[in-house]
Amino acid sequence: TLIQILNIMSVKAIYELDGKRLISQHLQFAQLAPFKSAIAASNLECTKLVDENSWLACERLVVKPDQLIKRRGKLGLIKVNEDWSGVQQWIVERMNKPLQIGGATGTLRRFIIEPFVKHSQDQELYLCIYGTRDGDSILFYHEGGVDVGNVDEKAFRLDVAADSLPSMAQIDSVLVRNVAAPIRTLVAEFILALFKIYRKLYFAYLEINPLGNLISPGCEFQYISKIYNGNNVSLVVVDNTIHILDLAAKIDATAEYLCKKDWGQITFPPPFGRDAFPEEAYIADLDAKSGASLKLTILNEKGRVWTMVAGGGASVIYSDTICDLGFSHELANYGEYSGAPTESQTYEYAKVILGLICRHKHPEGKVLIIGGGIANFTNVAATFKGIIRALMEFRHLLIESKVSIFARRGGPNYQEGLRMMRDLGRDLGVPLHVYGPETHMTAIVSMALGKKVITDCNATAASTQTVSLLLGESSNDNSSSGFSSPANKKSRTSSFDEPPTNSRQVASKRNERGRITIFTNKTRCFVWGMQSRAVQGMLDFDYVSSRDTWSVAAMIYPFSGDHKQKFYWGHKEILIPVFKDMSDAMKRFPEVDVLVNFASLRSAYDSTMEAMQYSQIKAISIIAEGIPEAKTKQLIATAKEKDITVIGPATVGGIKPGCFRIGNTGGMLDNIIASKLYRAGSVAYVSRSGGMSNELNNMICRATDGVYEGVAIGGDRYPGTTFVDHILRYNDTDDVKLIVMLGEVGGVEEYHICEAIKTGRITKPVVAWCIGTCASMFTSEVQFGHAGACANAERETSMAKNKALKEAGAHVPNSFDDYGILIRDVYNDLVSNGVIVPKPELQPPTVPMDYAWARELGLIRKPSSFMTTICDERGDELRYAGMPISEIFKEEMGVGGVIGLLWFQRRLPHYATRFIEMCLILTADHGPAVSGAHNTIVTARAGKDLISSLTSGLLTIGDRFGGALDGAARQFSEAFDSGLLPMEFVNSMRKQNKLIMGIGHRVKSLNNPDRRVVILKQYVQENFPSTPLLDYAIEVEKITTSKKPNLILNVDGCIGVCFVDLLRNCGAFTNDEVTEYIESGTLNGIFVLGRSMGFIGHFLDQKRLKQGLYRHPWDDISYIMPEGTDDM
């Protein structure tokens, strides 16, 4: 049997065409035949295909589907030695036709066509390259083809370490020793060249079967069709030229940031039998643009049971439970959202799910499970806000589709999230049942599917838990768990006031896997990255654990200079240094031996390798998800060489109650206290999932005396440390009495535990369960949330591993539903047998709640220092006067519309916004001679910056220059409102010796009108509902110009009176509001805003012209000195 690797998050299958293209482009091998291939897609255009690939018409051809179908030859899906006419006919007969392979039914839509190469079966060889934990393995056998048999047993194997390459001598002596002499060197050279490309392009899997040996010229060829096997790469050596016939390859998609240029355009097709939905593509695009994780796979769009689950591990468990209860045929989707998505991201994600739910009706109605474990750092209320928005938007469709909703969640601010969800239930119109962490995680599945009576949730207890715990009130009752033990009430195993252990002495104890103890209550660490929230959480944990000092010695952040950050130690403020260079931190704190690395996936490798060069570092936790597997293998190799324990990548970390916490492990402080993680219990656990580790904290606390230590090794295929590494540590730790393991589908690490139990190396009871039992029930491959969650063979399925663990002697439940109950039962047996002696429970020190978080929980209020009603930048999208910025662009509101929102808090009609924009255009500039422009130019030529030059010009604006808009509006409005005739108004102003603002111009006159005013008056008269004040001003102008032709209504006056007409007559303002806007200087704001554009233009003009310092000429200055100066 061939080695099979299913699609997972990082390793993804690619089209045969793409694989061949990559090898052809990058394999520098002279004997490789030129790459020739054509694709016939569902919209087959034969003439165009031949025009683009002329060789199709003159060569014998091979055609086969290119859709990740295995064993195409045995399925009759290959046509060989045909001409172009025969190939066309063969394709047409199959194109867009359904095909069932095993339990999967799919449609043939894509075919690859290539030149036919003759060879005989006895000249076939076998070659396969695939990844392993320590590097890569090359399998080679001198016989190939589909009848090669079990290559795992037959083939020669060469293991290559992650940080090395195979030598020609190794390949010759280990792999090709039975190959015929004429082509032996050629084959060896090809294997080496191919391996280098495999590494360079971050392939994860590459199989060649058969690889043909040399065929002598002139011999007869007999083609055997079954050698074209679509689950491998077939190569033939003809006249010293290697032809690639078939190819199956997978690449590490997380290496895209390294290989984007080399890969070119790469498509990751779905497995055969599951067509790609546009909704899946949309969620994938959201995921790519987000720092969070958003996944969706549609299994059965007409299915009855839908999930919207937070967390990669939790999403698998919910799918398991649905399938375990007999509803695999009704499970509609698999997916997850995690990593602290924003409100808008969960809103978009939820909209997609709800749209799919409501697309098809079901006679029994539908079920939506909004589930999740206890989050470590995701704000549950924030994510629920997005889900609630989507639910309200789909309210009527949900009612029509008879949807019942069951929700269960825990984590930061979960009380507020559950409250909002319960409030929604009163208005939504469909059944909505809401539960918190007091309910077992998957209990809602049984209730939703009618397998268990729907219970009421105690909302009061849930809503007060955080407040009571953080204020120091006792809360020891665990009866709500459903599996509480009398032995664990008000008791625990290890005394809270035990004397601290000598950390160096403990650290020296070792077993065959390394250190037995990694963390103690003296452990101190560096945190790489500006992760202030995580650091404060670690310090709060330290304080509530009664440590002598905080665990974070310093932070390392290469993107800023050395400085200090303020944090809280209990009630006291402290400063923690931040170093730009890691070397400075190491020198300053030589006692630190742990690094918590929050670097991104792009820099996590480099920063971790740098840290490993310092001998003082003994343990590193890598939080980042998405590090290429080849990079991770090199980290593992270096860590092994330097005896460093690595936790991660793709992990939340781990926690040792009362001693040390990695980053956000254990969640917020309320969960730390509720799960009693401030002191050691007697149960140690190890899991892959970070989110599920927090669920284990809750489960273990409710069923036992608590956690001694817990580690989430990470969801990647090759974590730095494995299950057995930590379980052996726990077995050799005297204070650990019970071991809990939560495994996953994929990999064989659980079998090492089986072997250790059988041989007696593990002597303590182990309660184990492997999630992913649903995988075997799916008809096509499914993208699980963790990179390592994939089955490479039958023995790597969850069912096989659970069976093996049980046979080895581990305690294995029937399902995850029974996991907590089994932990409780095994624990109670240990108590009954005297292995565990409960000790009195003590209350931890209280830690003040952060102000920001207390306000988030609604526990406090304070008067604000500022108030605003025009703009809100706090959400996922900027809003102007409540209107999302995207809507502003969508409706093309323009600058005038934005001014309406920001200045007037109203959406103005189009003619009004157009008028505002015209005003800005007309006031933008009036030449360099006016005072504002002059000042701007002089300042610019003095070498000042843009802001200084602009300010210099703006400071000249006033009643004499540009600032007459408000004055004109005020004077004309008062006269008009007082009932003064235009002549009476003019006479009144003359008697008061006051100028009429907005009347008069230095240059323009009745005979030389200002075109700006003409344009503005014409637009206003044609578009405004009425123009009483403009009409009044025009009558005033007739009087003033009769005395002097330049006493015209100028642009300031025209804008001022027209703006008053707009405000008074557009229907959006009251008269009092209009008066207030005029008095506030709003109209002058139009001139300031418009003229700023001109001032900036003058500044840029002077810089562009390279004008020097301005000095006013003497001949333009009258020097008049005081008389008699000489006598003085």
* Cis? peptide before 210, omega within 30° of 0: yes
745 in Cβ contact with 775 (< 8 Å): yes
Tokens read off for 273: 């039998």
Please tell me the distance from the alpha carbon of residue 72 to that of residue 539, in angstroms, as a whole number.
Answer: 59
DSSP 8-state secondary structure symbol assigned to residue 1046:
T
Please tell me the distance from the alpha carbon of residue 174 to that of residue 192, in angstroms, as a whole number.
Answer: 13
Please tell me the distance from the alpha carbon of residue 828 to that of residue 702, in angstroms, as a whole number.
Answer: 12
236 in Cβ contact with 32 (< 8 Å): no
- Dmax (CA) of the chain: 128
Strand (E) or helix (H) holding 14: none
Amino acid at position 639, single letter: A
Please tell me the distance from the alpha carbon of residue 1038 to that of residue 1045, in angstroms, as a whole number.
Answer: 10
SS (HEC) of 125-186:
CEEEEEECCCEEEEEEECCCCCCCCCHHHHCEEEEEECCCCCCHHHHHHHHCCCCCHHHHHH
Residue among 419, 313, 420, 425 at smallest CA distance from 374? 313
Question: Residue 50: CB partners within 8 Å, gap ≥ 6?
Answer: 56, 57, 84
Residue among 470, 475, 379 at smallest CA distance from 420? 379
Please tell me the distance from the alpha carbon of residue 988 to that of residue 903, in angstroms, as a whole number.
Answer: 34
DSSP for 783-817, please give it.
--SSTT---SSGGGSHHHHHHHHHHHT-B--SSGG
Angle at 32 between CA 29 and CA 35, to 5 degrees: 120
Residues carrying an active site annotation: 786
Amino acid at position 704, single letter: T
990 in Cβ contact with 1039 (< 8 Å): no
Query: Where does 324-463 show beta strands of DSSP type E?
Result: 333-338, 366-370, 403-408, 432-435
36 in Cβ contact with 115 (< 8 Å): yes
Tokens read off for 316: 């698998």
Calculated CA dihedral for residues 60, 65, 70, 72, nearest 10 degrees: -40
